[in-house]
Amino acid sequence: EEEEEKGVVTEGGEKEGAVVQAPPPPRPPFVVCIDEIIKKRALSHAIFTRALRVMSGPIHEPYLRGNLVDIGRENYDSKYERKLVTPEGFPNSYVKGASALYLRVGVHIEAADGGQSTSASQSAAAVKGIHLHVVAEPVIPEGGSAFGGPVTLRVIENEGQCREFIKNIPEDGSRVEWGPVFLHARPVSTAKQQQAASGISDAPTATAAGGAAVGVTSGVVAGGNGASRTAFTGDHLHRGGFQALELIRITNITPLLWVRVDPHGLYNGRINIFQQDACLAEQLFHDGDAAGQVEAMRALAERPLKIQGIPKITNVHDVPISELPVRVLGDCLRGSVALHCDLPHNPAVRAQAALAIAQWQNNKAPESIFIVGSGAWLGLDLLMQYFRERFYCNGIVLPINFRRLLLHKHIAGGAGGGDTISDGGYQYLDALTEKDERRNAIEFADEVEVEEDEEYRVRSACITAIASIRAQDGMTPKTVVSFLEDVLLCGDKAAVGSLLLPTEEEQLKKKKEQALDDEVPHSRRIIGPNDDDVSNLPYVSLSLVADALLALCYVHVRPHSDFDSTAGRPVTPKAEHPILPLMDLCLGWLEWDSERTKTNQTNLTGIGDACHTSIAPCAITALCHMALLKQITTPAMVAEKGSSPTNVRDDESLLGTKRKYENTKFDKTTTAQFYIDIYDDILVRSDATRAAAAQSVVCICCAADRNESLKKEPLGLLVSLEFMLDRILEPMTSPSLRLTLALLMMDACTGKICSLQRVASFCGQKRLHGSGTRSMNGPLGSSCGGDNGSALLMTISDFTYPSANAVNDGARRGLRLLKDTCKEGTYSNQTVVRVAKLATSLFRTINGEQVSTSQTPLTSKTCPAETVGVCAHDNNLRCALVALWQWIWPRQCWQFLRAQSWHAMEGKPEYYSMGLNHVMKTTAEEKEAALLEDEGLKQLAKVVEAEIDRQKWRGEMAGQAYKYSKQSNLTEVGQPLPVVEKDTAWKLGGWVASTAQQRRNQGADGGSAVTKIRLMVKSSTVGENS
């Protein structure tokens, strides 16, 4: 085609004779990019950048600017004779960056004349001088990269005004001011309305939303009960009829509704905007973007902050200002109408509201669970009230419906004539209570549709939120424990529900048969999108029970005991441990689900979305946690003479031997053998159940070594790693279970095996996104960056998570045993050989060899010579095991080298009794082959080391740039700021609080200088540069 086109163009040398062909049709951008890659036969850096620009389109061209040079340590700036520290920009910083974007944004509104509008009747022209100041400060953590470029600033004003501006984030990490932005709208409220609403004046006032006037006298709402001391009823409804959004609007005396930075999510970073609580409430109920709604909820969960300005009033219509944020979240949870769509928020958003309420409660929790009073447990009360409204009836927890029948009646008429579909033609069948009404509605319905009722998502999130609430001392309130008992006790193990009565089923069946006989058009079908009768299918709420069981892992209770000063030890409490009722319910659900799955002949392989069972994994995980909690927090029944008192029984065995003190059915749950029997049961076909049992075995074994004072070798971690490696090597283990066991081995060595509940969290409602978020950020999700209500649930200590703390203490001791250098003779020779045997099996497995297990040793009959190992064709498993090896033995396995030095004893009885015949040998031929392999891969190793060093330099570049350009005054706008250390608060999600504290210590936030500047502004005249 190209030759033909060239011939036509050059033929005759004149344009008159040329045949003009039609231009080729435009091709999609991804086709252009793929063709370019095919022509070049590679994906170079330039092609990658061009592909990004073509795919993004011209509208995003400014965001894709940046140099294409990989800057390394050897690059120098010839102008200043120093290392080149200029940020690489996009795409290098975003694709290869060592961190994401962290940005703090402060919003401040002030009038140009130094005053505020005080009259509601002022026109927009009178307040035209009000302007908005926005200060942005990039936060670069240690080891992070500097991000910069254009960003969208969206400003929403009162009376529906929306404006967007393109601002710039400096690439050097300096503070920048975006503004001023003039606000032309009318203020939402005035100071006079605030005073009237707070009860300071007796004049009647109207709400900020323009509602009816309400007389306020001495802080008592007119129309309510004058003798009442609270503004809310028992259902947490305001006696004056106000919604929380109406109340919080009165605190806003500015025209600004809310501000968003990067609303399209192009930077995909963490952006914290410090604006008043009323702005966040407006964003929650007005912004149609679900991401914006979730951002507002996470910010409201941290309000009011300690550094927030003190308002001139303390309450609005008898509601303390400090309670307004959680009241707004409570209205969202209960389904108050969102003003952007005249409908309640999406159930997924309302589920986040439940978690945000729990975060708020943990941030403002009382010091102890015994503290009661008005507002002490307000967040817990709001969650409990929602659950009682929706799922309680006469003290019984009702089963949840997953589907709703929607009856549709065509309404004749309309602009085009004929049948039209209107909102008045739809009606939910469950909204009708009388039998005659339901029968008539079905009879006259033209269509009966089935839609999903997503309220179960909110119900599950509410249970998790309630279980996660703690006091400041880390204890769970008794109300929460009783609530969880009711939920699990009322959960019918049959759990089969029906949406219809038997007569209604028959009525719908006849109506469907009649519709098919009459050949009703497809546009007026009777049942479902595929004409299948799915309206009355039974359902089993397994996922909801599983989430309730998993929530038990967040419960922390202890028996009340006194200390005997004479005996010098705690007095054994006479009452049962408060966790026993929950353990009994959990054990019952485990036995029920185990029997149910054993009768199912399906091979349930797979972890996560592929698993078919969810109750057993969650029950096993919760039972292990509660068993350890009971064991750790129960004082010893009898203290040995001459020994120091201890709060736990000493574990004398780990695997294979049952303890003598198994007097009750709960004692067996503290032994590893109980969970090993579950894993090895041939009738258990679920990989998720096996993985949860393996996780529990690791927890029990590691917790056995928690006591540092015991003079015994910490073999718990070693035993658990041997157990899981043997199960990985079993030929009948599925690939997904092998990979999960490898990840559990890594969790055990990194202190995560007991705190994140990896297996159970991924088997709850089988949503990988939500489950992954729970594993990374805790049960309450991520925070806005300030006060983190999830930090209490992510901190592993004796007063927050005793069971996880015990497991991590034992795992820490076991890891020291594995990393021991064998120089001081701390451990016995048998232990050294045992570690060497584990290293041998792990190394050969990674190398793709067939390795024998302790149960089935390899022979020439059981394993042919050509058989390969489990890692030969499974790269994911190989990478996971390599990461485990590098974590335990980053340089050398000293026990392996020590055992190899004993090979000179080969042939003696001691050689075989110690098990040295199972330790890998290195012959001279193998050493020579290894040297040749290292020589051949030397060039590749250099490239890898250079890229690793370049990545490290990317993380050090921002700190080096600050050293070159730092000044004495860090408060100036445009001055690069120092990098932020990732302290404990940062690691727990409180990056904003950590940054603020470090900036204050360094004098980079202004400190007292800011106060002096504000005082000068107040006394200055119009026109002065303040």
Closest CA to 549 of 601, 605, 625, 476: 625
Continuous segment of H or E residues that includes residue 138: strand 130-138
Closest CA to 750 of 820, 818, 801: 818
Cα separation values, 511 from 406, 410, 447, 851, Å: 15, 16, 10, 65
How far apart CA 723 and CA 719 sit, in angstroms, is: 6
Q: 547 Cβ partners below 8 Å, 6+ apart?
A: 460, 463, 464, 618, 764, 765
Pairing of strands 392-393, 396-397: antiparallel
CB 625 within 8 A of CB 803: yes
DSSP-assigned states of every residue in 890-924: SS--HHHHHHHTTGGGTTSHHHHHTTGGGSPP--H
What's the pLDDT at 101? 86
Beta bridge partners of 111: 130
Q: 816 Cβ partners below 8 Å, 6+ apart?
A: 714
DSSP character at residue 412: E
CB 659 within 8 A of CB 652: yes
Q: 419 Cβ partners below 8 Å, 6+ apart?
A: 410, 411, 412
Cα separation values, 969 from 137, 959, 977, 1004, Å: 16, 17, 10, 8
Cα separation values, 249 from 233, 252, 276, 321, 994, Å: 21, 5, 11, 11, 30
CB 991 within 8 A of CB 787: no
Residues of the chain with pLDDT under 50: 1-14, 114-127, 202-228, 414-423, 493-498, 520-540, 608-611, 637-654, 656-662, 855, 857-862, 1008-1026
- Using DSSP's 3-state secondary structure scheme, residue 806 falls into helix
Task: Estimate to the nearest angstrom the gap between the alpha carbon of 109 and the chain centroid.
Answer: 34
How far apart CA 479 and CA 477 sit, in angstroms, is: 5
What's the pLDDT at 653? 46
**Cα three-residue angle 402-403-404, rounded to 5 degrees:** 140
CB 797 within 8 A of CB 803: no
Q: 824 Cβ partners below 8 Å, 6+ apart?
A: none
In this structure, the chain runs to a length of: 1026
Q: Treating both helix axes as pointing N-terminal to C-terminal, what angle do 378-391 and 455-467 enclose, rounded to 10 degrees?
A: 140
What's the pLDDT at 720? 94
Closest CA to 546 of 345, 766, 358: 766
How far apart CA 577 and CA 802 sit, in angstroms, is: 15
What's the pLDDT at 1015? 34
What's the pLDDT at 827? 85
Structure pTM? Answer: 0.82
What's the pLDDT at 738? 93
